[in-house]
């Protein structure tokens, strides 16, 4: 009996700004032949937030009626806007589109995270805007809160042009296995994806620089830890059904540190999507004290960065 194919379901955050249009364009261009399900989310402010309620009971009831009417009008307008966007999106990619409008109550980032967790999405797609300095991350911003706190992978979209080349910054251990599992699931039904798993060796590793297939890599690896890790990766890729011919492994010794080598490789071979791991949920302080992930996010202004916890 064949296993039922599971299609990735993404949450696209839309607010009508240029950054959200970039996120829309990214999906259209990078996933044009892939199968997806996409919920387009727009969060709008309820009219009551800008209204001061009168103390007179009759006037209060009348005002409430007017506010509810206004709220319904704004909800339907936003719903219609998302349906039009969904139609345009379906012209470019093979996707089931679901428009979703919710009223803002409290913090927007928390509303997005709560909605994404309740509906078990496979990724939150957002346009990244604003400055990339560390102070900006610490002081707030919807996107930056999502990076630090979301339990669901966040796709940060910046830039104007994209290709279908993906570099996955591979780490040993559970973080690396999670990245492999996530990427191979999301891209299993993407016929044109070019996937490179990129890893920087420990300084005294027995392996030299390597580019090629995982079978060859397992064969030449002498270090027991590496070999066991690679066998787990191979099993994961097989279980997700991603064709081996679309996957390349690049392992090398690095002179510039992990972040520097990743940046160098991304620029040299023009990967437009970089996938990185976020270790643990240690809060803002833990995330921004010199981590590889923070350096990658801060550096690139013209790529898509997937942050997987």
pLDDT digits (tens, 9 = 90+) for 141-188: 788 888 888 999 999 999 889 999 999 998 877 888 999 999 999 999
Q: Is the pLDDT of residue 300 over 60?
A: yes
Q: Is the pLDDT of residue 245 over 60?
A: yes
User: What is the average pLDDT across 25-53?
Assistant: 84
Nearest to 133 by CA among 273, 274, 257, 301: 301
The answer to whether 214 and 249 have CB atoms below 8 angstroms apart is yes
Q: Is the pLDDT of residue 198 over 50?
A: yes
User: What is the average pLDDT across 215-240?
Assistant: 88
The token duo for 45 is 């402010």
Kindly tell me the burial class for residue 116, based on how many C-beta atoms sit within 10 Å of its own C-beta (0-12, 13-18, 19 or more).
Answer: buried
Q: Are strands 9-13 and 123-127 parallel, antiparallel or unpaired?
A: parallel
Nearest to 159 by CA among 186, 199, 129: 129
User: In whole numbers, what is the pLDDT of the chain averaged over residues?
Assistant: 83
Q: Is the pLDDT of residue 284 over 50?
A: no
Classify domain 165-308 by CATH number: 3.40.50.620
User: What is the average pLDDT across 52-71?
Assistant: 68
SS3 string, 128-193, reads: CCCCCCHHHHHHCCHHHHHHHHCCCCEEEECCCCCCCEEEEECCCCHHHHHHHHHHHHHCCCCCCC
Q: Which residue is it, tokens 């910046």?
A: 158
Nearest to 169 by CA among 180, 159, 160, 161: 180
Q: Cβ contacts of residue 182 below 8 Å, gap of 6+?
A: 153, 275, 308
pLDDT of the residue at 42: 93
pLDDT of the residue at 253: 79
User: What is the average pLDDT across 11-30?
Assistant: 92
CA quadruple 67, 68, 69, 72: dihedral sign: positive
Compute the distance between CA of residue 77 and CA of residue 214 in angstroms, rounded to an integer: 51
Compute the distance between CA of residue 303 and CA of residue 309 in angstroms, rounded to an integer: 19
pLDDT of the residue at 194: 94
User: What is the average pLDDT across 224-243?
Assistant: 88
Domain 9-157 bears CATH identifier 1.10.10.1800: no
pLDDT of the residue at 36: 93
pTM over 0.85: yes
Q: Is the pLDDT of residue 51 over 70?
A: no
pLDDT of the residue at 26: 95
Q: Which of 122-131, 150-159, 217-226, 262-271 has the lowest mean pLDDT?
A: 122-131
pLDDT of the residue at 50: 55
pLDDT of the residue at 132: 44
- Per-residue confidence band for 205, with pLDDT thresholds at 50, 70 and 90: low
Compute the distance between CA of residue 288 and CA of residue 294 in angstroms, rounded to an integer: 6
Q: Which of 40-44, 69-73, 137-141, 244-248 has the lowest mean pLDDT?
A: 137-141
DSSP string, 63-103: HHHHHHHHHHHHHHHHHHHHHHHHHHHHTTSEEEEEEEEEE
Fold agreement between 9-157 and 165-308: yes
User: What is the average pLDDT across 252-261?
Assistant: 82
Domain ranges of the chain: 9-157, 165-308
User: What is the average pLDDT across 54-65?
Assistant: 62
pLDDT of the residue at 115: 94
Q: Is the pLDDT of residue 48 over 60?
A: yes
User: What is the average pLDDT across 51-60?
Assistant: 55
């Amino acid at each position: 009996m064949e296993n039922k194919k599971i299609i990735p379901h993404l949450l696209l955050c839309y607010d009508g700004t240029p950054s959200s249009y970039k996120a829309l364009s990214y999906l259209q261009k990078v996933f044009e032949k892939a199968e997806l399900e996409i919920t387009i989310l727009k969060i709008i402010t309820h009219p009551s937030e800008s209204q001061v309620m009168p103390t007179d009971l009759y006037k209060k009831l009348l005002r409430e009626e007017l506010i509810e009417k206004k709220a319904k009008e704004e909800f339907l307008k936003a719903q219609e806007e998302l349906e039009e966007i969904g139609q345009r999106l379906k012209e470019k990619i093979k996707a089931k589109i679901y428009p979703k409008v919710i009223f803002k109550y409290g913090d927007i980032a928390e509303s997005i995270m709560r909605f994404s967790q309740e509906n078990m999405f496979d990724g939150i797609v957002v346009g990244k805007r604003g400055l990339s300095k560390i102070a900006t991350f610490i002081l707030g911003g919807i996107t930056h809160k999502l990076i630090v706190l979301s339990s669901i992978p966040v796709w940060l979209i910046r830039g104007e042009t994209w290709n279908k080349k993906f570099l996955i910054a591979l780490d040993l251990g559970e973080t690396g296995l999670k990245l492999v599992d996530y990427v191979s699931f999301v891209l299993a039904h993407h016929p044109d994806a070019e996937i490179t798993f990129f890893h920087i060796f420990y300084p005294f590793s027995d392996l030299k620089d390597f580019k090629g297939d995982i079978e060859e890599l397992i064969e030449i690896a002498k270090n027991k830890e590496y070999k066991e890790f690679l066998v787990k990766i191979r099993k994961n890729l097989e279980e997700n059904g991603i064709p081996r011919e679309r996957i390349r492994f690049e392992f090398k010794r690095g002179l510039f540190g992990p972040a520097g080598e990743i940046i160098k490789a991304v620029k040299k071979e023009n990967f437009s999507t970089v996938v990185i791991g976020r270790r643990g949920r240690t809060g803002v302080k833990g995330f921004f004290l010199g981590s590889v992930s923070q350096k990658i996010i801060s550096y690139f202004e013209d790529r898509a960065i997937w942050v997987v916890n």
